[in-house]
Structure 1
Amino acid sequence: MKIITKYHGEREFEEKEIIIFPQAIPGFPDEKKFIVLSLDEEGEFLVLQSVSNTQLAFIMTNPFNFIKEYDFTLENHVVELLEIESDKNVLIFTILTVKDPFDKTTANLQAPIVINSKKNIAKQVILNHQDYHTKHLLFQKVKSSRVKG
């Protein structure tokens, strides 16, 4: 199959690469089929591209590469919806709001994208965790300390 993408121009992909969001992404009720494309050579930043809407594409990343303390538990109904049988088949991504300069980019930790990579079923999960919000700085400032002596 071929589609025109927002960031990569025309791309060819196979039907088996399509990720289905049975409940759609909140705010986009008609968009249920996406593919994931790498945005950089390292694969650190990805594009969740709608199969049917050229202009609908979300930049995302693996939050654990940037925010080591990020942690949550999926509720049973989400595990059932995504038909998760093993945590080995679970991929977690966060949608980014890309800023200029890039080091001001934020991640939506409150609503991660959870994908069952074995079955290509996904859901944007809304967390009720007080420490996570929709505009979490992706690049944490490292606090420097002076050593006296």
Structure 2
Amino acid sequence: FTLTEPGKLRSYAFDLPPFYAVKLEAEASSYLLVLAIVILQNPIENSVINFLAPIVVNREKKLLVQVPLDEQKYHDFGIAEPISRYL
């Protein structure tokens, strides 16, 4: 797998649950990097991306967590969306 910034592929925003903000010691969102897992396939059009469980990195403190989002709240985000929709 590899990682990518989901906002470069589509409109992407979510509320970071307080539990994860504490784990990340997040004081300012400017230090947070949001990444999505991409499972690479050959050809690349068969690859899938996980928008439903982003990885959030506190770049300043070098901490990261994977944040499972609520499927009902974020129904537009899939766990294995074909990347071909965004190429």
TM-score range, shorter chain: 0.7 to 0.9
Say whether the 8 Å CA contact 1:108–1:133 is kept in structure 2: yes
Q: Which has the higher contact order (CA 8 A, sep 6+)?
A: 2
Instruction: Indicate the structure with greater helix content.
Output: 2
Of residues 119, 131, 135 in structure 1, which corresponds to 2:76?
131
Residue 60 in structure 1 maps to residue 3 in structure 2 = yes
Change (3 A) 1:139 1:65: farther
Counterpart residue number, 1:71: 13
Unaligned runs of 5+ in 1: 1-57, 143-149
Give the number of equivalent residue pairs.
84
Q: Rg larger in 1 or in 2?
A: 1
Change (3 A) 1:141 1:92: closer
Greater CA drift, 99-108 or 109-118: 99-108
Unaligned runs of 5+ in 2: none
* Cα root mean square deviation, aligned: 1.6
Which aligned runs of 4 or more in structure 1 are off by greater than 4 angstroms? none
Q: TM-score, normalised by structure 1?
A: 0.53
Counterpart residue number, 2:56: 114
Partner Cα distance (1:66, 1:138) in 2? 9
Q: Identity of counterpart residues, as a percentage?
A: 27
